[in-house]
Amino acid sequence: MSLFQPAPPPATKLGVLRVLSPNAGVHVSPFCFGGMSIGDQWNGALGSMNKESSFKLLDSYFDMGGNFIDTANNYQDESSERFIGEWMEQRGIRDQIVLATKYTTNFKRGNDSIAQKANYTGNNVKSMHISVEASLKKLRTSYIDLLYVHWWDYDTSVKEVMDGLHSLVMQGKVLYLGISDTPAWVVAQANEYARCTGKTPFVVYQGLWNILDRSFEREIIPMARSQGLALAPWGVLAQGKLRTDAEEQRRKENGENGRMMYPGKSWERDDSETKISRALEKVASELGLGSNIGAVAIAYVMQKTPYVFPIIGGRKIEHLQENIKALDIWLSEEQIQFLEGVLPFDPGFPHNMVGDGTKPFFGMLNAMSYKKVQPQQAIKPTD
């Protein structure tokens, strides 16, 4: 084979890789596979899955060119990590996968044989140590590509967390660091501490973001741009609440309902979810996608800012195939304004006064005329 021969084309655009973040040069798929559905312990909340169906879904993602998988120490009461680890080992593909997992949540919640569970949760170093050692065994690997702090506990200092995480990197047990479900000011403080003390900073932020909930725009996206972090949004499809009227009616008629992860939540769409779903369906129709509103919802977040890697889960291979069509979509400015106009987002003070930095502040314009350098843009399907 010639040294200059290009790599063979991937099976799908899922195999057209991207640099993870400005501060993490590893190359990953544009979608991160969400491993919360992998496992057999949360069937009541997420739908029926077993090892065979989990492996088939993982095989499908990998065969389409995917290499970026996200899980957590507690998902499916630990069966998610176990299944993913066994799958990678059986296929002999561990080093081909960029594997993310998380610590902080009590991963022994479902184990009644453990009387005291305090040390299995929190951001502290003991919880970190116990969780990472357990994850390495379950995942059948000697290293974790990307370790997330799952959520901020407000009990552990930034210093303790960053020193502990840096130690894991120095030991070779973890390669990159991420943080999830945490205020932007904490992330900025943590990365500033890391830079000032020669420690390893966070390079990815994970959190809830979709067309229904645009809170990311308030502090998270500006923080990520400033700190050089990628964004890995979960809930991009609003836990299945973004669906067409026809799909809603079909579920009512056959009793399929939907995922009910959180107690007290209805599987049916509320007024806001219905309005957004109808707007997405209109745009999907304009783009020739029929009723594939999920692809439009995914494309929306992917073009808002660079380095966005949506976490896409689910249980059905056909849903994954439909979602990949988002990689062919580029929404027009008019389509974005239409979607955002259905449920206007108010970022609050001071953002609604000084803006987000992409346009000149009115306080400057009474002194001069000038143009601003625009932030880096997301990758287009035609790039």
Coil, helix or strand at residue 26: strand
Q: Is 369 contained in some domain?
A: no
pLDDT of residue 374: 87
Question: Does residue 383 lie within any of the structural domains?
Answer: no
pLDDT confidence of residue 1 = 61
Is residue 101 within 8 A of residue 73, CB to CB? The reply is yes
Q: Would 354 be classed as within a structural domain?
A: no
Residue-range definition of the domain harbouring residue 114: 13-334
Q: What CATH code is carried by the domain that includes residue 62? A: 3.20.20.100
Using an 8 Å Cβ cutoff, are 207 and 234 in contact?
yes
pLDDT at 184: 99
Query: Considering 61, 75, 148, 300, which one is annotated as catalytic?
Result: 75
Residue 350 included in any domain: no
Q: Does some domain include residue 299?
A: yes
Terminal C-alpha separation, the chain: 28
- Asked if residue 194 is part of any domain, the answer here is yes
Task: Give the C-alpha separation, 123 to 104, whole Å.
Answer: 5
Task: List, for residues 300-330, the tens digit of each pLDDT value.
Answer: 999 999 999 999 998 899 999 999 999 999 9
Tens-place pLDDT, residues 218-269: 999 999 999 999 999 999 999 889 998 888 888 777 766 655 555 556 778 8
Read out DSSP for 246-295? HHHHHHHHHT------STT--SS--HHHHHHHHHHHHHHHHTT-TT-HHH
Return the pLDDT at 207.
99
Residue 2: per-residue pLDDT? 76
Strand order through the sheet with 98-103 = 230-234, 202-208, 174-180, 144-149, 98-103, 68-70, 32-34, 311-312
Residue 372 lies in a domain: no
For residue 376, tell me if it sits in a domain. Answer: no
The pLDDT, as a whole number, for residue 32 is 98
Contact call for residues 163 and 199 (beta carbons, < 8 A) = yes
Please list the pLDDT of the chain residue by residue as tens digits (383 residues): 678 899 999 999 999 999 999 999 999 999 999 999 999 999 877 877 999 999 999 999 999 999 999 999 999 999 999 999 999 999 999 999 999 999 999 999 989 999 999 999 999 999 999 999 999 999 999 999 999 999 999 999 999 999 999 999 999 999 999 999 999 999 999 999 999 999 999 999 999 999 999 999 999 999 999 999 999 999 999 988 999 888 888 877 776 665 555 555 677 889 999 999 999 999 999 999 999 999 999 999 999 999 999 999 988 999 999 999 999 999 999 999 999 999 999 999 999 999 888 888 888 899 998 888 888 999 999 88
List the one residue out of 215, 207, 185 whose CA is nearest residue 351. Answer: 215
The DSSP code sequence of 308-333 is B--EE--S-HHHHHHHGGGGG----H
Task: Tell me if residue 300 is catalytic.
Answer: no
Q: How many structural domains is the chain composed of? A: 1
Q: What is the pTM of this model?
A: 0.95
- Pair type for strands 18-21 and 144-149: unpaired
